[in-house]
Structure 1
Amino acid sequence: MSKDKTGFEVPEQMRDFAEQSVDQARKAFDEFMDATQKAVSKAEDNASAMQAGAADVNKKALTYAEEHVNAAFNFAQQLVKTNNVEDMMKLQQDYLRKQMESLGEQTREFSNTATKRAQEAAKAAQKK
């Protein structure tokens, strides 16, 4: 046992108890940090999977927008070349029909892609 200049003695059991307490606190802290690092890593992985899926969906959206703009320019070029109202009306009907068909197909593709990416991200989150 140790004695300091004031005559105060720290019992050996108190020292052992304090040492065990510090060891337990360190162990608890280390476990907490490990769990935190795993959670952060999982969140980063999930975010990466979501970002990859979002990037794919964004690319599709841009592609669809470009297709629609190109179709509108083609329609405008054809429209200025018409000679009468009947040709203009037929051209407009054809353009609208094609755009609606295209929009329907793109909506299905977009929905399928978004659903697929969301499912992939959910699976990746469950694996971790």
Structure 2
Amino acid sequence: MSDEVRDRFEIPKEMRSIAEASVEQARKTFEKFVGAAQTAADSIEERNATVRASAKDVSSKAMAYAEKNVQGSLDHAQSLLKAKDLPEVMRLHSEYVQAQMRALAEQASEMSQTVGKAAMDAAKPKV
């Protein structure tokens, strides 16, 4: 090809229009893809935040229960030291065991509700 022919080379108008439309369509498709990927990433981040908050709530409750139970045990030991006789020791111990059973049942129920709520929150679709 001569230099003159190369300098005059032009893409036909129709082909240019098709190419421009294809590029524009590819751009829009890519933008939609990036938007969808960002939405998915945001959803995962929100879900992780929900799971972390729920785990923190469960952990806090467990620590509070442990503290309460240990404090109850220490109070019980203190009361046993002040007992005057064996029947009082038996009564105090019976009261302690009954109180602990009630407390443990209540704590298990609360923990079950907390864990159930955490599971529901983690599984809930984000809008």
**Pairwise TM-score range, normalised by the shorter structure:** 0.7 to 0.9
Shift of 1:94: 2.0
Structure 2 residues not aligned, in runs of 5+: none
Structure 1 residues not aligned, in runs of 5+: none
What amino acid does structure 2 have at the position aligned with 1:75? H
- Residue 111 of structure 2 aligns with which residue? 110
- Residue 62 of structure 2 aligns with which residue? 61
Report the identity percentage.
Answer: 38
CA distance in 1, matches of 2:42, 2:2: 49
Shift of 1:116: 2.7
User: Given the two structures, how large is their TM-score scaled by the length of structure 2?
Assistant: 0.75
Shift of 1:99: 0.7
Supply the RMSD in Å over aligned alpha carbons.
2.8
What amino acid does structure 2 have at the position aligned with 1:92? H
CA distance in 1, matches of 2:113, 2:25: 52
CA distance in 2, matches of 1:97, 1:6: 104
SS in 2 for 1:111: helix
CA distance in 2, matches of 1:4, 1:46: 65
* CA pair 78-5 structure 1, distance change in 2 beyond 3 A: farther
User: Given the two structures, how large is their TM-score scaled by the length of structure 1?
Assistant: 0.75
Deviations 1:9-28 (A, max 9, x none): 46425544443333222222
CA distance in 2, matches of 1:117, 1:110: 10
Bigger shift: residues 82-91 or 39-48: 82-91
Number of residue pairs matched by the alignment? 124
1:1-128 to structure 2, matched below 5 A, reads 5=3, 9=9, 11-12=11-12, 14-123=15-124, 125=125, 127-128=126-127
CA distance in 1, matches of 2:48, 2:91: 49
